[in-house]
Structures are given as structure tokens and as C-alpha cells.
Structure 1
Amino acid sequence: MKILVVGLGLIGGSLCKALKKYTYHTVAGCDINRDIENAALRDVALDEVFDGNYEGYDLIVISLFPEGTERFFAENASKIGKNTLITDVCGIKGDFSQRMKKIAERNGLRYVGIHPMAGKEFGGYYNSTADLFVKANFIIAPFVDSQQSDIDLLNGLAKEVGAGKIVITSPENHDKMIAYTSQLAHIVSSAYVKSPELGLECGFSGGSFQDMTRIATMNEKMWTDLFMQNREHLQYELDTLIDNLKKYSEALKNGDADGMRALIAEGRELKEENLRHRVGQPN
């Protein structure tokens, strides 16, 4: 295929590198920063820098923040060839995908969103890697009337860049699940580092601290956009977490060792059951 990747940050840059390492597709790319485009050429992450002509592409992957993705598509959809499939890698689907679909339909185009569940503590092209998606979960979020050939194309692409478990679900279910598995974790990490003890942790921290704080370095502009566009689902998960935390707090306040033991046991049992279920799931 001939593929255009718009935005060469962590995900876009990694996608270009993965496509060049693992496939024979022709890859063009563009970024608002010309130095990044030149770096991608030097790294052989691109076959060419996008020349402004949107005709002739089989697939365009928009790898920008949600607001930028929607704005870019609205401004350029009329220039894109009618045989091109449009996708995005945003961590939000739901209403966002519905708006993207409307832009596509007004311009005689096809759109299906994807969400590679891969990332790092720090973003940007210079942190991108060809192996970012290897063994990562990969979500495809078609509509009920999406063409099977478009779903198959994206499924094949996910496999080519090394994805592990590929999940096909609705945009609405994507947002419901991501609120719990991703967005809530980012809020918890951000809140966790606000302890006055943070500056004194050196020498006292281990893997649990690193795991809990790793994603606190998230980009506030992008994640605020993601949170606000999924606030109903995220609010539910946050309220559920707060209710559960209050139970641990009450056990501590009351010196209730039996109650604390029961809470910890309940969490352990739920996680063990979750792990057994995961082991039985096919990749």
C-alpha cells in the first residue's frame, strides 16, 4: 500500500518506523516541524516527505491530538482521493468518531478509527521506536455499517507492526473500557505524585512507586482533551475508585485490621481471577 502518516510524534513516528522495518508499504509522512520530517528521512522511517498531493494513497493515518485530528480532517477531506481509507490513532472514539465519520461521508470517504495501546513516559518523534507496537493490544473501532474490507485492512496492518491481541469493538464500548483501563490510571498517577513526600522518595522507592508514577509525565493538553471528551465514563470510574478508597480509609481510621484484611483479600481474589481469565484468552 501507499500510506500517509500525518503527525510524526511518538505514535506516528513509531508507526512509520514499524512499517519500514516490518513491511514493504511505501510510507510518506508530514509534521508541522520540518526538522522532524528531515530526521525521519535520515532514519529511513519515511520513503518521502508528503508533497501536498492527497491523491493516490490507500490509507491515511492521522496521528495528532484529538482536536488537531478533527481539524486536520475537516480542512483537508475535500482534497483526499475517494479510494483512500482514513483512520486515526486517538485514545478517544465515541462522539469523536461519529464526527469524523460525518466529515468522511460529506466528502465521499471512508473512516474507521484505531487505538494502538502502546506508549512511553515521554512522547515525541525522538522517543519513537519501530518495536513500540510489538505484543501491544490494538483496538479497531468500526461502525455497524463499516466495510469488512476496511476492518480487514486495519487488522492486517496491526498484525504487520507486531500487535498482540487485536480487539474489534464499537466506538462507544471503546470509550467505556478505556475510561477504566487507561484514563483512570493516568488520573491516579497524576494525583499520586502530589504528595509532599515526592521530593524525598529517592532511596525509598522500588518498582511499585515507578509503576504508579510512570505516566504522571503525560501531556496535559492531550490528556485533558481525552478526559473531557470521555467525561461521563471517566467520572463513573473515578467515583467508583473513590468509594473503594474510602473503605480502606475507614479501616485505617478505625484500626480495623480484620476489615483491612478482607479488603486486601477481595482485591487479590479479583486480580487472580482476572489473571486466570487472561491466560485463557486467545491472542
Structure 2
Amino acid sequence: MEDFDFNITIVGLGLIGGSYAMALKDLNPKNIWAVDIDKNALKTAQELGIIDQGYVDPEIPLKNSDIVILCIYPNLAIEFIKEQMDHFKTGAIITDTAGIKEKLLSKINGFVRTDIDFIGGHPMAGREYKGLSFASKDIFDGANYILTPIEQNKKENIQRIEYMIKGIGCKNIIKIDPKKHDEIIAFTSQLPHIVAAALMNGAKEENTHLFVAGSFKDATRVARMNTKLWSELLIENRENTIEQIERFEKYMTEIKNTIINNDQVTLEELFENARGKREEFIEKCMK
């Protein structure tokens, strides 16, 4: 694909939406439009030159958009597509950036027009902050990007989305079943946020900050999360989330029991196993 001569609309100019707008400039699309209820965010984005035009009312840009990128909460994305169904351009590609996939795809594909292609997506990129002011095209550099295409998605549309993903700087594109996506993400993304929150909520001492080094800071970084978004993600993926919490509790109990039993040999073995897996994990991430 030699050019990317499309009209693109980004719905939601927060951290991911703003970063998308910045990164898409390198692909030189025909137009980058944005839809948001925050007029100040739209004004700022136009002043920064990362969008060509901002809209509170989505009807105008949607009627002319070849690609629509939803950078909003999962349930809001479902509502948005349903409410704006009559306004999407014939042949439009819609994709999203939500951290859950099975319910979202099931709902949307239950009512989406047959002349529109919805392709589920999830960039493995972001920060623990929210809002346009923290947006940066650099968050996609070297990142992984998950796609959850289904049988009715057109091959050429998937290729266009893949081209866009590579164009904004992502390194690997992983295609996976929506159900499997939610199972894995419950462990790699949702469980760490739960653990970080539990650690911070368990900080009893007022002067805890005077007794921490890198390990506590690293382990609790994501506790500074978008609480509304993450509450929705965990509830909507509740079965997988609970399964991962219970699995984590099992391994915590295993370590606790070695300490109760004064079993240093087994404790060292558990730690050595974890250390080895971490080293292997880092090596794979560097490839």
C-alpha cells in the first residue's frame, strides 16, 4: 500500500485517541478528524495541528470517514456505533482500542450494518495517566498490537488496519480469537492493576514513602490508573479476572506456606523458578 489517502475519524481525544492522532500524521492521510464532547480538547488538538477538524456532533465526519477509530470505553463504544449507525459511510472500516473483546464484538456484530466492517483492536500501549495532555505518538513505538478479526471481516480491510498499525510505529501485530484475548489479558494486564491497587490499599503506615525503593514503585506504578475505565474492564471481563485472582492466590499461598514451615529450600526454588521465567520473558521482549 503506497499511500494512506483516507479520511480518518478518531472518537475520543484522550491519551490513546490523542496519541493516535499524533502518530497518524506520519502516514499523511487525507484528513484526520476527531469527535469528543470536550470542546477544549478539540480546540487544543486543532491548535497543535494533530487534527484537521474537531466535532462535538459526529454525524458530519462519520458520513465522510473511510476509517473510524474508537478510543472510548467499551460500553460507550457499543452505544456510539448503535446510535450513529445511520451516519457511517458505506464501506467504512471501524476499529476500537478497548481492553476487552468478546462481549464488545458479540454486541456490535449483532447490529452493525453489513456494508460496514468492524475489526476489533487493542494496542498494548498506554500510560497510567489519562487525557490529551499526556498523549504522545511515541507510546506506539515498538509496541505490540492485538487484532481480533472474525470470518466476515474483509481481507483488504484487515490489511489496511495492519498497515496503519505498522505506520504508527507498532512492532508486532498479533491476531487472536476474541475469547482467548480476554483470557490472556486478564492475566497480563488486569491482574497487575489489581495487585498494584491491593498493595497501595495495604500501605498502613503514613510514612511508607520513606521506606520504598524501586521495587515498590515499579510494582505499584499502574495503581495510578483511570479508575472508571479499569473498573469497567474488570467487571465486563469478570469470569476471566476472578479466575486469574484465584490462580494468583494459589501461588501466594504456596509462598506463604514455605515461610510458615520455615522451608527455605523450597522458597529458594520458587524464587529461582520465577527469576528464570523473568529472564526468559525479558529476552523474548527484546526480540
TM surpasses 0.5: yes
Among 44, 52, 71, the residue aligned to 2:79: 71
Tell me the distance in 1 between the aligned counterparts of 2:161 and 2:208: 44
- CA deviation after TM superposition for structure 1 residue 183, in Å: 0.6
1:72-87 → structure 2 map (5 Å cutoff): 72-87=80-95
Aligned to 1:204: 211
RMSD over aligned CA atoms reads 1.6
Q: Contact 1:186 / 1:216 at 8 angstroms: preserved in 2?
A: yes
Among 18, 25, 28, the residue aligned to 1:24: 28
The answer as to 2:44 corresponding to 1:36 is no
Aligned to 2:66: 58
Tell me the distance in 2 between the aligned counterparts of 1:59 and 1:104: 15
Tell me the distance in 2 between the aligned counterparts of 1:144 and 1:192: 42
1:224-263 → structure 2 map (5 Å cutoff): 224-263=231-270
Q: TM-score, normalised by structure 2?
A: 0.92
Look up the SS of the partner of 1:86 in the other structure: strand
Look up the SS of the partner of 1:143 in the other structure: coil
Look up the SS of the partner of 1:218 in the other structure: coil
Describe the superposition over 1:145-180 as per-residue Cα deviations: whole angstroms up to 9, x where unpaired.
Answer: 321111111111111100011111121121111111
- CA deviation after TM superposition for structure 1 residue 234, in Å: 1.5
1:120-139 → structure 2 map (5 Å cutoff): 120-139=127-146
Q: Contact 1:175 / 1:233 at 8 angstroms: preserved in 2?
A: yes
Look up the SS of the partner of 2:211 in the other structure: coil
Letter in 2 for 1:77: M
Among 187, 190, 198, the residue aligned to 2:194: 187
Tell me the distance in 2 between the aligned counterparts of 1:166 and 1:207: 31
Aligned to 1:92: 100
Aligned to 1:114: 121
- CA deviation after TM superposition for structure 1 residue 65, in Å: 0.7
Unaligned runs of 5+ in 2: 1-5
Tell me the distance in 2 between the aligned counterparts of 1:42 and 1:198: 45
Q: Contact 2:91 / 2:115 at 8 angstroms: preserved in 1?
A: no
Tell me the distance in 2 between the aligned counterparts of 1:45 and 1:198: 45
| Identity among equivalent pairs (%) | 29
Aligned to 2:53: 48
Tell me the distance in 2 between the aligned counterparts of 1:265 and 1:144: 44
Unaligned runs of 5+ in 1: none
1:138-157 → structure 2 map (5 Å cutoff): 138-157=145-164
Among 13, 17, 21, the residue aligned to 1:12: 17
Tell me the distance in 1 between the aligned counterparts of 2:122 and 2:166: 14
Tell me the distance in 1 between the aligned counterparts of 2:130 and 2:78: 20
Tell me the distance in 2 between the aligned counterparts of 1:24 and 1:271: 40
Aligned length: 278
Look up the SS of the partner of 1:183 in the other structure: helix
Look up the SS of the partner of 1:140 in the other structure: strand
CA separation of 1:203 and 1:191: change in aligned 2, threshold 3 A: same
- CA deviation after TM superposition for structure 1 residue 134, in Å: 0.9
